Structure 1
Amino acid sequence: MQFYLMGLWETVRDFIATGGDVLYLVFIALLVMWIVMIERYWYLFGVFPKDRERIIKQWDERKDTTSWYAHKIREAWVSEVSVKLNERMLLLKTMIVMCPMIGLLGTVTGMIAVFEVMAVQGTGNPRLMAGGISMATIPTMAGMVAALSGMFFASRLDARIRREQDKLLDSLPHH
């Protein structure tokens, strides 16, 4: 197991060395994105059901559910839960959008390295240029893969949040 982890670590280090330091930024963005994603799923499946039940219970215990005042209380409760459901979703979507942009930053820095090699060595040394070209393409690929991994789960999370909001509204009938 220890040798496997050491081999895995070496592979990651080689990948980062090939792609450049911009891959650290992609990794940080990916880490933040997935921490937020896991936290949102935890809230949606762990905490929100308790909040929903509490609000439904409070609504069912009310004697007045038809007056203007009761409707405003209902709207306030639903709004409060909606805010909690959508917390950090903007941060999540921002991190998803940033991943390819960070990858493009890696492309620019890699191309600068290629141009520096060309300026110093000329175009006659393809080996030196290849290092810069891989430094230009790997961060772009890493940024795109990071964004795609988040897009799928974020869109499903967003749809689930909307569904839960609608179900909560349906659970609080106003006669």
Structure 2
Amino acid sequence: MMIFLMDLWDSVRGFIATGGDVLLLVAFVLFLMWTLMLERYFFLNNVFPKLRDDMIANWNSREETTSWHAHRIREAWISQAKQQLNARMLIVKTLVAICPMIGLLGTVTGMINVFDVMSVQGTSNARLMAAGISTATMPTMAGMVAALSGVFFSTRLDARLKISIEKLTDSLAHKE
């Protein structure tokens, strides 16, 4: 097991060395994005059901649910639940959108390395130019993979949040 972890760590270090320092930024943004998404999944599955049940119990215990005042209370509770569910989702979506841009930053820095090598060594040293091209392509690939994983899971999470709000709204029955 320890040898496997050491080999894995060596592979990660080699990947980062191949792609340059921008890969560290991609890794940080990816870690932050997934931390926030996992927190939202935890909230949705573990915390929100209790809040929802308490809200439904409070609504059902009301004697009067048909007045204008009762409707405004219902709307306020639904709005609070929606706000709690959607907390930090804008940050997640922003991080998803930033990932490809950080990858492009890696492309730019890698191409600057290629042009730097060409200006110093000339165009005859293909090995040094290949290192710069690798530095240009690795962050782009990593940024796109990070963004794709974020798009897929944040879209699923967003749909589940909307369904939870709709179910809560349906559970707080009111009469016109």
The TM-score range, normalised by the shorter chain, is over 0.9
Distance 2:139 2:46 in 1: 36
- In the alignment, what sits opposite 1:16? 16
**Structure 2 counterpart of 1:136, which letter?**
A
Q: After the TM superposition, which residues 10-159 of structure 1 pair with which residues of structure 2 at under 5 Å, given as runs?
A: 10-159=10-159
**Structure 1 counterpart of 2:39, which letter?**
E
Distance 1:64 1:37 in 2: 39
Distance 1:140 1:67 in 2: 57
1:68 to partner: Cα distance: 0.4
Distance 1:51 1:28 in 2: 32
Distance 2:143 2:47 in 1: 32
1:173 to partner: Cα distance: 1.0
Structure 2, unpaired ranges of 5+: none
- Percent identity among equivalent residues? 63
| RMSD, matched Cα | 0.5
Q: Deviations over 1:111-147 (max 9, x none)?
A: 0000000111111111110000000000000000011
Distance 1:12 1:51 in 2: 42
Q: Find runs of 4+ consecutive structure 1 residues off by over 2 angstroms.
A: none
How many aligned residue pairs are there?
A: 175
Distance 1:160 1:8 in 2: 34
